[in-house]
Structure 1
């Protein structure tokens, strides 16, 4: 996929494109519907224009949007899987947020050879979200670009959007989140060195660091999930896993940590890239009276995990 970062106006380009504009955080089922519709227009390369940061975080410092469902590299991979060939990443700042809808269309989009624009019906553009899809259609008509507006996809009467998915994940409702995403919620990072407590207790875990800090963090608790280990040229290895997300109150942990115990696995994974997919919430995070009680619960968790994966 071709990647182009935008800090002001996009570079002039004569390549015919079909452009889909949106935040695309999560690349959920609603986004996939937009991309599917756009791909049916055969007169240009399928292209997405998105944002480096959520506008609500940059403009309002709303803490609900300081992290992403899919940081940019993860987002790009998912978009590529949906057939996107070019990705414009707008470096969204407070200055960029001052651009009016008229400027965005007539001074920015006009620099590209856009054959068609596709957006969702809730799309807004311009300073303070001043304009909606009707304004977009009117402005684009001035430069000869047709616009298609796609009705919002709904699930049981509720619209599928990133805000709803964020809320589900923060509440530990990962099964419901999967229904809206179209896949399990997944975080990525590098395996880092921890305190090796799990190994001494007979349950060696991998601790995830690096990129994982950019993701929306699931509710503290223990989850059933899938680990995908990147093995360089040897592809990826999948393992069923118990995922612990939270603060480890039994050992007086102070920072949020995501770690995973891979079932029926042994080996050194330090510094390797691992993706953890949250399949089902197993139980709440508990502060046990001592480590012996913790180990007994971990044995029960392992048993429940084997039963679960045998039946899926």
Structure 2
């Protein structure tokens, strides 16, 4: 997938595209429906393209901490979109100055520079300065540059509209089953295995510590059942069941939020490897134990419970 950085107006482009516009954090099932629809509307010579922002407008404009982190940071989002058939991604550097672009300028001065045959958006799409303009104005402005617009109805799960904000809340509350239902896949964090204090090894539960995860929405502190995919060709088996500990490690005076994973029945060195940890099921909240013996006893119980459930899956 080609990534095109846009700092002001996009480059003039003659390649015919079906253009999907949106933020797409999480690339949940509602987003996936938009891309499925766009693919169905493509002709043989068309490319599937995305026009999206580098950061959430609420973070750039209001420094709202809820929108600083992402369900799918760019590297992960790019891979998911590539799997959905996206061939070109226009990544707009969203700034306070860019936020002042009117809806008219956005379509007639920016989008018009591309060879867009059709725009596909989700129902409820708003754009332009202050998100002032709706789909009706989008259709009207696009008619001036001879671009058709397709609006994809909002997708619902058990009667509720699927949206990124709800997925974010579910992850932060540890409701991984419900997050999975909205995403269409388990919530996953990808990072690099880094060196830690090696305390897990001393306790009899060696873990991998995940680094490079600060841009993700963090799950509720606690213990989870999960899986890990190892992105390293040196291992014959790349997928393992894991017991995940996510949080601040109060029993051992931990510093900062950390995701650790104990791979069941695994033996090997993963330092420096890139791995993806998927959160499948919340088991319990984070606890400050009276000492290491109590911690080991609880970890032993967690392990037995997780193995029992994995055997039934």
TM norm structure 1? 0.98
Say what the alpha-carbon RMSD is for the aligned residues.
Answer: 1.1
Q: Which digits, 9 at most, give the CA deviation of each residue in 1:263-300, with x for residues without a partner?
A: 00011111100100000001111111100010011111
Q: Which digits, 9 at most, give the CA deviation of each residue in 1:20-71, with x for residues without a partner?
A: 0000100110010000000011232111111111111111111100000001
Range that drifts further, 226-235 or 111-120: 226-235
Which residue of structure 2 lines up, in the alignment, with residue 287 of structure 1?
A: 288
Which residue of structure 1 lines up, in the alignment, with residue 265 of structure 2?
A: 264
Q: Distance in 2 between matches of 1:49 and 1:232?
A: 34
Q: Which digits, 9 at most, give the CA deviation of each residue in 1:72-97, with x for residues without a partner?
A: 11001000111111111111111111
Range that drifts further, 44-53 or 7-16: 44-53
Which residue of structure 1 lines up, in the alignment, with residue 97 of structure 2?
A: 95
Range that drifts further, 176-185 or 92-101: 92-101
Which residue of structure 2 lines up, in the alignment, with residue 300 of structure 1?
A: 301
Where 2:49 maps in the other structure, the secondary structure is: strand
Runs of 4 or more, structure 1, over 6 Å off, are 233-236
Q: Distance in 2 between matches of 1:215 and 1:274?
A: 14
Q: Distance in 2 between matches of 1:121 and 1:236?
A: 42
Which residue of structure 2 lines up, in the alignment, with residue 20 of structure 1?
A: 20
Rate the CA distance shift 1:236–1:87 in 2: closer, same or farther, 3 A. Answer: farther
Which residue of structure 2 lines up, in the alignment, with residue 214 of structure 1?
A: 215
Where 2:27 maps in the other structure, the secondary structure is: coil
Mapped contact 1:228–1:236 kept (Cα < 8 A): no
Q: Distance in 1 between matches of 2:90 and 2:237?
A: 28
Mapped contact 1:50–1:90 kept (Cα < 8 A): yes
Q: Which digits, 9 at most, give the CA deviation of each residue in 1:130-167, with x for residues without a partner?
A: 11111111110111001011111011111101000000
Q: Distance in 1 between matches of 2:181 and 2:41?
A: 28
C-alpha displacement of 1:196: 0.6
Q: Distance in 2 between matches of 1:113 and 1:229?
A: 40
Q: Distance in 2 between matches of 1:61 and 1:188?
A: 25
2:192 counterpart of 1:190: yes
C-alpha displacement of 1:178: 0.3
Structure 2 residues without counterparts, runs of 5 or longer: none
Q: Distance in 1 between matches of 2:237 and 2:20?
A: 31
Q: Distance in 1 between matches of 2:86 and 2:237?
A: 23
Figure out how many residues of one structure are paired with residues of the other and give that number: 311
